[in-house]
Structure 1
């Protein structure tokens, strides 16, 4: 396997990690309006992801940086051609981060309500737009002989792309509902389970339709296996959450995300951005890659840095592994529980998490 193939796999792993981790906190952000009945419950949901949402975004930064260094032509064509959708995602991520930090800074109801609405919309839009973007990347866009995207914004909003957006939005919201059930106690936990079952069934229909369409269009034999794993893991996650096994359900919903992303990248390889104008104009792992020297240096740096990032994130999740509920939100707290850190992350000590 050549180094450019290795880096294609590594970038796929980075995007998989991002969607696995950021997927559930996007989902929790959407659930602040779908699941929470009042401000106290919204604070509970926000506190479940308060300590981890910013660490989850490290995977996006790393995936973008790795693409820039390993496949500069891919990066240039992607970020110029998809400029407006990616700018909207970036804007949402910025506003979302500010909302987590500033929501609890003032006690006025209007102030907190506006920031909570920002969390909802800036979680929903990226969850949808990432699906639109990757559906276009895999199926192909109008790239000319100069490796430039020559289509328009409307060209990115075809039926396959919109189905991809609906699929990622549903999948991330389901993933978030399972996470909310895993991290909470009381009535909100019960309602999160029930909502997760309904969301899981809708997600199954969308995922099979979108990935099946992608597989028929560009997939191979291995993609059929990952598609089957996606469907099987998703249905098993629904069954587990219905039985109250939140830990198993979260592991299975995460497996669903991993298998779905694997299906997309398997359909994409050896291209990195297929051209719908002429197959010879497609960007591939060969013609879009950096030189061997650059890829070699990157490989050594990745080997040194990746274990440290994994250890740090693993430690963060271990420290904040406990469940929380409305009883851990004080009435006199302006926007979060006593001892809240940035983003309203509770430092209370509720009952241990159970699978």
Structure 2
């Protein structure tokens, strides 16, 4: 394969209102946003990535600007032969700016989106599906779960809808007060079918006292995991107390950045489920080693993602590359920035989804139907 350099990048920001807001313990989303990035090398090969931006979604355009003006210039004109080395070089170069700007998350996500797109491009040039280019060997269907279920009656209704659509595992948002949380979970748990799984996501909504008082009350539901019961940066001593009180394993990782904190979380044994978000930090270059380290330590790797179609497809390929007992997270909330590009590509069947055919992502995004939702488009060339 000839050496090619990064010649052209684009960032596309899309916004769309939604009928039912998506509620979490830290805030409410009243619209869906996505930042899709497209890269092209000097041979004309192309790849797609996504920059995480779902909350606060006012930051979407800002992240696209960081991608175009800060991150991409560090890669334009450089060889794409070794995406991991390129990502590491960019990550090191951004360190001072993360500290100086206080904008560490946005810069990390912008770099992650670039890395995802470069890996897609490289897989396409090699004529391989992305999961295989990342080292995967198993093309069997992946287990999936429906995520982002709002509290209250909505959770019950959404479980029914997603069950009818082929899902067999469901994650409900909690952290809205003990009685509200229990009232949300009880009707869902009562009607779970044989083999179905139920999880909860606190979204960092509890302090230590609340977490330790609440997690024992969740024992009646037979949960698969309890996600982010504390703010991600709380000390391990607090996580240890919650883990000791919990009736099931804890999950987390979407709000960790860099290999050190992930390895610390894995080594601590306090998280049974490790959940890096490849569009939020690391792309494939950063998250693939984390996933492998989690599995090697006997933990479960489950990629976190709640955004548009391109990031979801990257998460699918990453999980397919490493496998293990983990499930693919699929947002249960309507989102034209996901459904409008995927079509029936992610149709569920008995709790699983088939791997896409073709090269790279197995998706060639057609942005034309979404063009009236686009709020910003930026291009940069070497």
The structure with the greater share of residues assigned to strand is: 2
The alignment's TM-score, normalised by the length of structure 2, stands at: 0.25
The structure with the greater share of residues assigned to helix is: 1
The alignment's TM-score, normalised by the length of structure 1, stands at: 0.26
